[in-house]
Structure 1
Amino acid sequence: MLSVVEGIFLFVAIIESILGVLGNGIIGLVNCTDCVKNKFSMLSFILTGLAISRICLIWLIIINGFMQLFSPDTYSSGKLIEYISYMWAIINQSSIWFATSLNIFYFLKIANFSHYVFLWLKSRINRILLLLVGSLLISWLLTFPQLVKSFNDHKMKTRNTTCPFKTVKSEYFIHQVLLNLGVIFFFILSLITCFLLIISLWRHNRQMQSNATGFRDPSTEAHVKAMKVLISFIILFILYFIGFAILMSYFAAPENKLLVIFGMITTTIYPWGHSFILILGNSKLKQASLRLLQQLKCCEKEESLRAT
């Protein structure tokens, strides 16, 4: 049984997951409709893929957390942990790849640098994104053999010792670093592009402020807003990896349920928080979400009238 504090934290994690599914569902639906109605857009494709991968990621975090909390024996034994690990490798890397691609897309479209390397990359934005697709496939190809080897080693040591977990525990975190090399690469690349874009926006904002005549330029406000969005994304992105590390530390302290729930909360903040940042920063997504809320209110009123 869970304590009162653990129950409250678990409730928060569930609310976060519901908000994340709703927010990413709106993003995916709006951009997928745009791809069907209009011509193919690289930005719509990235946002649709990002939303779908994050919905799958949220479900996987919640299922994984519930299995660790309420059925730890079933979770740690048998094939279940292997299946979850394979799904996690695909979904986690895909989610971070789409986020990195989105950051690179905005960086090459919005940033303003005079360096010839940046201008060369800017003129070849579609090729850069195709190159990133290749890097994702390479990351998968490198990850799956490591996963298979890790599970085979674990099975061999389980047969040869009466206390397998203590033998494997010291090697577990090394395996995790090797398994997430692709994720670390995308994470670093995403942070670099975000910081460069913030520098570009900050320089442009200073130039516009020096040329301003006392009135607040709408373009200046747009740049300030963009910088706030990027800083928020960086904070959420770092929180996601902190939460991921907390969930991995469960294997060092499997009896600590509060640690698992806190890891669920910290990890889920990123996929739902960033989705609402994207919605608030995009007029089309904001209008779609407002229309959805109005339709829900109308449905509630109709049901109340029918009940009376």
Structure 2
Amino acid sequence: MHKVSYAAMREDGSSIRDRCAAEFSDVTEEGQMAENNRTLGAIYPDDMWLDYDINRMLDEIRKYLPEQVPMVSARTHVPMFAEDSEPADGSSVELGIWLAENGDIEAAASRLMRLKPSVFAYYCTTASFVQGVAGDEALKKRVEEATGLPCTTASTAIVKALHCLGVKRVATASPYMEDVNQALISFLAECDIEVVNSNPLHYLQDHGIVPPETIREAARRSDVGEADAVLISCTGQKTADFISELEEELGKPVVTSNQATGWQALQMMGVEPRLPGRGILFEN
């Protein structure tokens, strides 16, 4: 895919719109025609100790939705470990697999049906990429079969966003442990996206406590010249208020989990994703 410079993207968004037309050619008619019911059903894992952190995460998700698009949400259970302990098998990848497969996601989506959402989005990047593309597709299919509504995930949305931007090589920053970081690299490789540098911060869980300035600095440190864009992976990260500033600083697109998921959900609902200050994805 032909790469367009960041400066050219800022001046003329037609290249992004053209790519997105292809990326969203499979959007369902239900998503396109839901003008009288554009409500996002957001599902997320409760891996935070404090309600304060949960509320901040929900506020972050809403920052990528225009006022006319309401959101209803449900959380799924995450087993919490003492700060000095690890899962029994020592693997945060196994925790991600458990989150994807224990049935809580479909159950949460089914509970939300009485609030009449028009699409679903699963806001956990790890659980949606940890078993590769096949695992991500299976997760979406289970939600769609349980509800009859279209569903996306953070990982699906990230890939669509990077493809729309013409990105082939990316630098990543995340709060992940190394095993999850490697799973992310493998997932992106399946999608023809090469990770040329990564900077995981090695948080086992409670990712929502990472300060915005910490993940922003991690993104700066991860960026290298050969990267077409920087990806900040993890829906627990608070990035909305600095994405555009960081893009200007680095001279390249910055894609984040919550940003990409909101962007794709809006596309699925037939809403043009235009919000100031939320990165180039929302400017073109």
| TM-score bracket relative to the smaller structure | under 0.3
Bigger radius of gyration among the two: 1
Indicate the structure with greater strand content: 2
Q: Structure 1 length normalisation: TM-score?
A: 0.23
Q: Structure 2 length normalisation: TM-score?
A: 0.24
